[in-house]
Amino acid sequence: MIRKVRSHINQNETLLFEQSSPGKRAYQLPALDVPPVDAASVLGSDARTEIEDFPEVSEVEVIRHFTRLSTWNYGIDLGLFPLGSCTMKYNPRINEVVAREPGLAWAHPYQPESLSQGCMEVLALLEEYLCEIFGMDAVTLQPAAGAHGEFTGIMLIRSYLESQGNPRKKVLCPDSAHGTNPATAIIAGYEVENIKSNEKGMVDVEALAKAVNEDVAALMLTNPNTVGVFEEQILTIASILHEKGAQIYMDGANMNALVGISRPGDFGVDVMHSNLHKTFSTPHGGGGPGSGPVGVRKHLEPFLPGPRLKKAGGGWTWDYDRPKSIGRVRAFYGNFGVLVRALAYIMAHGGPGLRNATLDALLTANYVRARLEPYYQIAYQAPSMHECVFSDDRQAAKGVRTGDIAKRLLDYGFHPYTVSFPMIVRGALMIEPTETEPKQELDLFCDALISIAGEIEENPQLVLKAPHGTRTSRVDEVTAARKPVVRWRRNETASKAAD
C-alpha cells in the first residue's frame, strides 16, 4: 500500500542549459562608446571566442530557475532536520541582526587598537562567557573549525608535556570517537590507540586503566559521546589519566546536552573545544566559516596561541609577549563574524535561557526515543541525552536497512537522520531533533518513521525501492562513487543522466 506522499518541493526543474534558446539575453548594455579591443590581442591564446554550451536565457528565467532549485535545498528553515546540532541547528535571526551592525560588520583587522576597542570587548566577553560555560580558566577564539580546535588542543598538551620533559607517544581514542579525533592525534605526531566501549556504549574503564601508562599523552573523549550517552564514570576516567600524568581532552563540538547543566572543567577535563557552528547556533552550511574555540585549565594557559587580549589602562590591548605559546593557529583573531553571532546567541538567552535550551534538547530527543522505541531497536539501554540512536535490527530481518528507511523518509518530506553512524552501532539511525522543534513537527516526523516501520512489515519492496516521490529515484551509489560523471554535454539529455 502506497501512502500519501507529502511533498513541498518542485521536482521538475530542467537544467538551465536545456532552457536555452539562441539570442536570449539576461542583460542590456548601452552601445559601446570606446573603440573595441580584440580580446585575443590582450589575452593571446587564452582568449575564448565562444563559451561552449553557454545557456542563453532571460533574466526572469535565470531567477526562476535558481529560486526553484533553492526549494530543493532542504534546510532547518524548512522543517525538522534530524541530523541535529552536529550538522545544523536553528540560527536565530537576532544573531544576524547583531552581526550586521556596521561597527562590527565593517571592522578591519588592521585598524588600530584605539579604534577596535568595541570589537575587542566583544572577543573578551565571549572568552569570559565560554570560560564560564566550559568551567575552564582561559579560552582562545582563534581556531576556525572543530578539527582545528582539536589540533590546537593536542598541540597545547604536547607543548605542556614537553615543558615537563617528555611529550609522550600515544593518544587514546574510544572506538565511538568522531573520526577527526584520531586524525588530529596523528597530525600532532602521536600514535593512536583505540579503547573499547562497554555494552552501555561507555568507555570500558578497566580497559582504559590497562592502557594508561607513562607513554600516554592524553585521552580524547566526547561527552556525551557519539552514541548520545553521558560517560557516567567520567570522574574515575579523569583520575586514571591524571594519576599517570596524562591529560583529558574533551571534544565538545556538540555540547547541546551540557550547556548550563554540567561543565567539563568541573568533571576533570584539562582542555576542550566546542563548535560555535554547532552548539552556539552560528551558520554551518555552505562551507562555513566555522569556529572551534579551545578552553584550557590554568596549567595550559601559557601555551595558548597568541596574541592574547590584555587589559591596559581603561581598555584592551593585544599581548604578543608569550614565550611559551604554540604560536598563531590562524591569521588575525578568529572568524570574527561568527564570534559575534555566538555572543549574540549566548546573550539573547542568558544563563537560565541556555539551560532551558539544553533541557528542551534533552526533552525532544527523549520524546522521539519514547515514541519510536516500540518500532525500532534502541542501541543502548542508557539514558539518551540530546540524541537517540537506534539500530535497524528489526527491519534488517525483513531485508530493509537504515539507508533504505532514510530514502523512504524523503517521500514523507523529511531530511534523513544520520545513517550508519556511529559505526559501532550496526545499521545505526541517529536522530537529534534539537531544542527548537515544536511537538507538532516531532509528531509528524515520528508518524513518518512509524508508518515506514508498518510498510516494512507489509511490503518491504516499497521501502527498498524508495524514494518514489523525488525527482531522482534511487541511484546506484556504488557506480556514482566509482565512476562519477562530472561533466554535462549537450545532447546527453537529463533523462539519460537520471537513468
Where does this chain bind ligand PLP (CB under 6 A)? 86, 145-147, 178, 180, 222, 251, 253-254, 275, 290, 292
Q: How far is the CB of 174 from ligand PLP (least distance, A)?
A: 11
Contact 453, 275 (CB under 8 A): no
Distance of closest approach, residue 495 Cβ to ligand PLP, in angstroms: 37
Q: How far apart are CA 264 and CA 258, in angstroms?
A: 9
Alpha-carbon distance 463 to 384, whole Å?
Answer: 28
| CB nearer to ligand PLP: pick between 82 and 146 | 146
Cell numbers for 238: 579523569
Closest distance to ligand PLP from the beta carbon of 494 (Å) = 33
Q: Quick check: helix, strand or coil at residue 348?
A: helix
Tell me the C-alpha to C-alpha distance, in Å, between residue 350 and each of 122, 141, 200, 256, 391: 16, 20, 34, 15, 37
* Residue 222 C-beta: closest distance to ligand PLP, Å: 5
Kindly state the smallest distance separating residue 86's Cβ from ligand PLP, in Å: 5
CB of residue 171 to ligand PLP, shortest distance in Å = 14
Residue nearest to ligand PLP (CB): 146
Least distance to ligand PLP from the beta carbon of 144, Å? 8
CB of 275 to ligand PLP, least distance (A): 5
Dist CA 157 CA 149 (whole Å): 12
User: Is 153 or 467 the residue whose CB approaches ligand PLP more closely?
Assistant: 153
- CA dihedral 152→153→157→162, nearest 10 degrees, is 0
Q: Quick check: helix, strand or coil at residue 214? A: coil
CA-CA distance, 79 to 100, in Å (whole number)? 26
Residue placing its CB nearer to ligand PLP in the complex, 87 or 356: 87
Is residue 101 within 8 Å of residue 107, measured between CB atoms? no
Residue type, 355: R
CA distance 91 to 282: 6
Q: Cell digits for 278?
A: 554547532
Cβ contact 405:431 at 8 Å: no
Residue written as grid cell 605559546:
325
User: Given the complex with ligand PLP, which of 180 and 391 has the nearer CB atom?
Assistant: 180
Q: Which amino acid is at 165?
A: G
Shorter beta-carbon distance to ligand PLP: residue 279 or 436:
279
Please identify, using beta-carbon distances, which residue of 289 and 307 lies nearer to ligand PLP.
Answer: 289
Given the complex with ligand PLP, which of 119 and 237 has the nearer CB atom? Answer: 237
**Separation between Cα atoms, residue 250 and residue 135, nearest integer Å:** 12
Contacts of 187 (CB under 8 A, 6+ apart): 151
Dist CA 315 CA 117 (whole Å): 7
> Residue 76 or residue 452: which is nearer to ligand PLP going by CB?
76
> Does the bond joining 224 to the residue before it have cis omega, within 30 degrees of 0?
yes
Taking the complex as a whole, the smallest distance from the CB of residue 253 to ligand PLP amounts, in Å, to 3
Residue closest to 405 by CA, chosen among 390, 416, 413: 416
Q: For the CB of residue 32, give the shortest distance to ligand PLP in the complex, in Å.
A: 49
Q: Can you tell me the distance from the alpha carbon of 426 to that of 404, in angstroms, rounded to the nearest whole number?
A: 14
For the chain, the first-to-last Cα distance in angstroms comes to: 25
**Which CB atom, from 116 or from 254, has the smaller least distance to ligand PLP?**
254
CA 279 to centroid of chain Cα atoms: 9
User: Closer to ligand PLP at the Cβ: 36 or 287?
Assistant: 287
- The residue (of 222 and 384) whose beta carbon lies closer to ligand PLP is 222
Rg (CA), the chain: 26
Least distance CB 436 / ligand PLP (angstroms): 19
